[in-house]
Amino acid sequence: MKNQLPVIAKVDKLGKIVEVCSDFYVELQQLKDSGARLISPRDEAYARLHTRGKENIGQVYGTRTISGFEYAKGRLPIFRVNSRLNDPKLAKLAVEANKARNYFHTESTKEYEESLKQAEKEKSKEPKKRNIMVLPSRDAFTISDKENWDIFEMIFKDQAKPYFEYNGPITVYPIHKGTVDEQDGTILNVLWFRSYEGASLLYGFSRNINHDDRARGVFVEDIENTHGKSKSLSYYQQKQIDKYLQLVQKIKDGKASVSKLEKVEIFLADLKK
Please report, for the chain, the start and end positions of each structural domain, with discontinuous segments joined by +.
Answer: 7-235, 236-273
Report the C-alpha gap between 173 and 157 in whole angstroms: 20
Collapse the DSSP code of 142 into the 3-class scheme (helix H, G, I; strand E, B; otherwise coil) and give the result.
strand
Q: How confident is the model at residue 49 (pLDDT cuts 50, 70, 90)?
A: very high
Predicted TM-score (pTM) of this structure? 0.82
Q: How confident is the model at residue 225 (pLDDT cuts 50, 70, 90)?
A: low
Least confident of 89-98, 102-111, 234-243, 244-253: 234-243
**What number is the average pLDDT over the span 226-243?**
53
Taking CA atoms, 94 is separated from 1, 32, 177, 203, in Å, by 29, 18, 19, 16
Tell me the per-residue pLDDT of 117-134, one tens digit each, with 9 for 90 and over.
999 999 999 999 999 999
Mean model confidence pLDDT for the chain: 89
In this structure, are residues 140 and 174 in contact, taking their beta carbons and an 8 Å threshold? yes
Name the H helices within the chain.
24-34, 41-50, 88-99, 110-121, 149-156, 160-167, 177-180, 220-227, 238-252, 261-272
